[in-house]
A = this chain, B = another copy of it.
Amino acid sequence: MDVPGYLLERIPLVERALDAAIPPADAPPAELHAAMRHLLFPGGKRLRPAFALAAAEAVGAPAERALPVATAIELIHTYSLIHDDLPCMDDDAERRGRPSVHVAYGEATAILAGDALQAAAFAAVLGAEGHDPARLVAAAGDIALAAGSLRLVGGQVADLAFAKSAGDAAHVESVHARKTAALFVAAVVGGARLGGADDATLARLSHCAENLGIAFQIADDLLDRGDDDVCSLVRVAGPEAARARGEALLGSALREIEALGTRAEPLQRLAEFAIWRNA
């Protein structure tokens, strides 16, 4: 299986679903909708949505079944990047080679665009048609917990506080688990849930996606060794130990995916690709 080919086929589904989840850029208030779309189109690699789609396939469902979760996770991820870039947070004026949303539209509109993207994420998954309502409740509830104070937002708080703390490797991984892995878990588990997975498979995929998410963050940090203040395993343990830990986490995740059989091959290949694509 060829990962770029897989993504080339699946990602247009995600793009269309994302476009349908947000009013057009000229719908009033036009400035708000343009700001909501600024970082979403063109977006990033859409890895989280791809994981949701591959997870549905890994449990025997068509990739399309996972689209409501894939859409919601990408909208939450996008809102969190917009808020992270704000002057009072990471103060980043650029993102993916373009002005950050607050630079392009002002701080108030950037905050409100993030707020509305979070609401749009829940509207996207809760408005999905043709799904068992109990599975939608569970998937959307998982996303709400993943986006909350004990996971995504709590991870951002810990990340901002990290420069002032004396964190060890375990602390760094706990920040990665919250700030990065939480949305990977919600994507993979949610995708499999809408694909009809049973509870034992969901538990296995949850554990596996947490390891993948932490490995993803470690690999990302291996590319970016500039900043001494940053919360990274590379900083607290050195690049060799960080690489070894990333490989161990990925290896453990891949073994758990293997147990799902050949239909989990897209998920397996995607995991390898996502984590070592550049590292």
Task: Name the interface size band of chain A.
Answer: 35 or more
Stretch at the interface among A12-20, A139-147, A203-211, A246-254: A139-147
Contact B89 A111 (CB under 8 A): yes
Stretch at the interface among A24-32, A57-65, A221-229, A257-265: A24-32
Contact A119 B107 (CB under 8 A): no
- Contact residues in B for A158 (Cβ distance below 8 Å): 29
- Cβ-based interface call for A241 (8 A): no
Contact B133 A33 (CB under 8 A): no
Query: Chain A: residues with CB nearer than 8 A to chain B?
Result: 22-23, 27-29, 31-33, 36, 79-80, 83, 86, 88-89, 106-109, 111-112, 114-116, 118-120, 122-123, 126-127, 132-134, 136-137, 140-141, 143-145, 147-150, 152-154, 156-158, 160-161
CA distance A126 to B108 in the complex (A): 29
Contact B137 A119 (CB under 8 A): no
A-B contact pairs, 7 of them (CB 8 A): A22-B149, A32-B149, A79-B115, A89-B111, A116-B147, A122-B144, A123-B145
Chain A interface main SS type? helix
Instruction: Answer whether A119 and B141 are a contact pair too, CB < 8 Å, given A108-B89, A111-B88, A160-B108.
Output: no
Instruction: Answer whether A28 and B154 are a contact pair too, CB < 8 Å, given A107-B88, A149-B33.
Output: yes
Contact A86 B111 (CB under 8 A): yes
Contact A32 B154 (CB under 8 A): yes
- Contact residues in B for A33 (Cβ distance below 8 Å): 149
- Contact residues in B for A149 (Cβ distance below 8 Å): 22-23, 29, 32-33, 36, 116, 119-120
A127 to B: closest C-beta gap in Å: 5
- Contact residues in B for A116 (Cβ distance below 8 Å): 147-149, 153-154
- Contact residues in B for A132 (Cβ distance below 8 Å): 133
Contact A153 B108 (CB under 8 A): no
